[in-house]
Amino acid sequence: MKVNDSEYFEAPGANVLVYSNWYDGLFSDSKISGIEIIQHGKRIATNGDVRLNDTPEQWDSIPTFIKRDVDAEKGAIRASLHYPEHKFNFSVKVTSTKEHLNISVHTDAPLPEELVNKAGFNLEFMPSAYFNKSFIADDATGTFPLYPSGPKEQNDLQAPTPLATAYHLVLAPEDAERRISIESKQQPIYLYDGRTKAQNGWFVARSMIPANKSGKVLEWSLNVSSIKDWQRSPIIAHSQVGYHPNQNKIAVLELDPKHVIGENLVSLLKIMPSGEKNAVLSKKPMDWGKYKRYQYAKFDFSAVRESGLYQLKYNDTITAPFRISKDIFSKAWHPTLDVFFPVQMDHVLVNEAYRVWHGASHLDDALQAPINQKHFDLYAQGPTTDTQFAPLEHVPGLNIGGWYDAGDYDIRTQSQYRAVLGLVEVWDQFAPKRDTTLVDYDRKFVDIHVPDGKPDILQQIEHGTLALIAQHRAFGRAINGIIVPNISQYTHLGDGITMTDNLVYNPTMTPLQADGKHSGVPDDRWVFTSRSSAVNFGSIAALSAAARALRDHNPELATEALNTAELAWQEERSHPPFLFHHGNTTGGRLDAEKLSAAAELLMSTGDEQYKQAINTLWPEVEAHFAQHIGTLVRLIPLMGDKYKHKIELLAKDYVNEGRHITQANPFNVTITEGGWAGNGRIIRDAIHHYYLVKAFPGLLEPDAVYDGLHYLYGTHPDSDISLVSNVGTVSKRVAYGMNRADFSFISGGVVPGILIIKPDLPENNEEWPFFWGQNEYVINIAASYIMLVHAANDLLNSSAE
């Protein structure tokens, strides 16, 4: 292996990254750090680092990254790190020889006493990559279990039992695609199954760092098998849902860097009732160039307009069937509204035919969070409660409405109000009357696929509004969120009703006492209430919007929502803003949230004061126009001709500067590169482009809308799978929802998408659900997705007319 221009070790079919990634936010361990192995196109190992646990889980200690030194000429990469709380400094060095990579750990001083028998070098291997495979440990043999057994590691109390112990460990010796050899001459290698500690654990190879030794304290020889002349199979990225006859239809080929297109053709095959496949178009794809580690080419089959069932073929690669049809997007949003949103509903039992998704959970909501509290999931309580409630006092009335935030079970207010805003936007623009779900609040009962005579989207808006209004009833304002207090509850996988006993905590009772309403078990969720004006403005916006949608559906709630929003607006304007900020639970930028609130209040009331507020916020409009396009365009009928002219000028600058499209990749969308993949941004941009297409004809081509939707449906890097579960022929079937431990999905859920593993690997893993940055469903993205499908359908139907 040699160090390439991207500063990682490379050989045909094998790459080893050395601290190219260091998780830079939110949680200690997201399985993207240290030494990582990419073998035949798949990242199969990560977290090669000195750790203090045999089988580390998400919140266990990680060292602090200091620096990384690369000497490509000598074939060496060295990373320096330390554990500041233990005053322990070390470095990990990787060098290349003709036969293998040499991994060594170096220290300036012997291990601190408290780290003896605790610190070791770990390398973690993705379990799904080794299912149905074997290992050789010196003279012993074994197979990797599909499911873990044996005692789990309990930090400082119980050590796990290794699957094997050896000085020479070979993983998957029978499989050249996955074979890895590790040899240690001084310290034995232990092979653990981290899934006994946590369902998202990995197989761990680990050697302990010896006591009373400094300098080079540990050394491994690593050999990563690679198949001679291996090339990654071509991927034909396309829409798994299909295409409208009138739209442009472009597939993107993702090709190995060594692949030569030559005279190879891409063919569009029409599938006939007899099973025969007729090539209706064949031509050489157009070279696009390189993006990240792959080369790309495009195949344009826009000229084909005949309805039917089709496949794409390039060499031996052939796609799943997809449709060309005028009704292509008419039902694509149904699974998200029919199933995903009902399944996420908190405080009610959710039934689907023979299946109960979960019971009526968290009816004991909620206890006031203690002061000076930093929660492990990005919530925090400041030095006061900012409420009339004492720490750990029960706050009545919070056990209504709301959705489970994502793959978690918390009520994150920012997610709630953005989901409500997204659903109201759909109702404002398209008013879909679809009814397939029964919602009965008296019985706290929801039944999927059972109509009740009420539009489902209004019932979902109502459910989110109930959670938001409950906060204002209890506190006179919005709060940051509600979440379980301890990690054992937070990591709960299963029915949400079993997270608590659903009885309000009474501190005068013992844990074994209960009276049917109260118990002595302190398992109630905490409500985090430090004042944040940004969150309050976001809630004001959603309540104002919900009031419009609910006027006929629930007039009493609509009136309360609007009155509450207006009073909260006046209250917020009467004092300097509260700027409490922590994690991702305290709202967006203050002026952005304020603009959203003013806009929604104006749309619901027409009151002149909100026009004035919007004009006052014009610096926010100009500085962050791309973030607010949809809101700003919807205000045009209310703000007058001068306003429209200013928005048109900003829109022209946006388009002329090319901010509506990116030349950096062949997919014509902005692919972000943070720790959370970028489908939310892609959906938002596409919706905003819809409003520009409608408001300013000729300014922007409709492709700027369709490209975002097709990206979700499979026209993206890494694979051609649809990133919306149960939408498209081949879609996400393994995702980070509440049922992730079953390696399953929730119909209609939208995942974050393609994560860029730095420096150059696009990744969305369909075999391992526990990558939250790639696979975690989020409610507000789901709401925006429904809007985007309606937008695309509207444009195509309008053009057809």
- The domain limits of the chain are 2-224, 235-324, 363-435+452-504+519-588
**What pLDDT score was predicted for residue 800?**
47
761 bridge partner residues: 757
Residues 6+ apart with CB under 8 A from 170: 135, 136, 137, 179, 180, 181, 182
86 and 114 Cβ atoms separated by less than 8 Å: yes
Q: What is the pLDDT of residue 801?
A: 44
Contacts of 594 (CB under 8 A, 6+ apart): 533, 537, 613, 617, 620
pLDDT tens, residue by residue, 260-277:
999 999 999 999 999 999
Ranges under pLDDT 70 in the chain: 24-26, 799-801
d(CA 801, CA 789): 18
- State the DSSP H helix or E strand holding residue 620, giving kind and residue range, or none if neither: helix 618-623
Q: Classify domain 235-324 at the CATH class level.
A: mainly beta
What are the C-alpha distances in Å from 503 to residues 508, 514, 676?
14, 8, 36
- Strands 526-528 and 367-368, bridge-based pairing: parallel
**Phi-psi domain of 215 (left: phi exceeds 0; alpha: psi -120 through 50; beta: other):** left
pTM over 0.95: yes
- Whether the CB-CB separation of 665 and 707 falls below 8 Å is answered with no
pLDDT attached to residue 98: 85
- CA 600 from centre of chain: 27
CATH class of 2-224: mainly beta
2-224 and 363-435+452-504+519-588 share one fold? no
User: What angle is formed at CA 323 by the lines to CA 319 and CA 328, rounded to 5 degrees?
Assistant: 135
pLDDT score recorded for residue 747: 98
What's the confidence (pLDDT) of residue 799?
58
3-state secondary structure (DSSP) of residue 697: coil
Measured over the CA atoms of residue 664, residue 665, residue 666 and residue 669, the dihedral's sign is negative
In this prediction, residue 406 carries a pLDDT of 83
> What pLDDT does 798 receive?
80
If one looks up domain 363-435+452-504+519-588 in CATH, what number appears?
A: 1.50.10.10
- HSE of 299, CA atoms in CB hemisphere, 13 A: 27
Task: Give pLDDT, residue 529.
Answer: 98
